[in-house]
A = this chain, B = another copy of it.
């Protein structure tokens, strides 16, 4: 299976990296930039998984390792079963 997982800060959680990027873009002359939020993503390849189970398994990866559930949300996406 090939899958992509996006992990991003929850709404309302301060994102200092994003703020720094927005401010750097404005300093470079891109004054139209209003806000930036930064997140990360993971492209995963796994061996075969039972059909109905892939999405649940990806969510387990997120809860156990990829995301910090206190401040982050995640979204999983199966690219190739």
Q: A36-B44, A37-B42 are in contact. Are A61 and B6 (CB under 8 A)?
A: no
Count of identical protomers in the assembly:
2
Contact across chains for B40 and A39 when beta carbons are under 8 A apart: yes
**Interface size class for chain A?**
20 to 34
- Among A28, A41, A60, the one with the most B-chain Cβ atoms within 10 Å of its Cβ is A41
Alpha-carbon gap, A25 to B62, bound state (A): 10
18 A-B residue pairings within 8 Å (CB atoms):
A6-B41, A8-B41, A8-B43, A18-B42, A21-B66, A30-B60, A32-B47, A32-B57, A33-B44, A33-B45, A34-B45, A34-B46, A35-B45, A37-B43, A39-B41, A39-B42, A40-B41, A41-B41
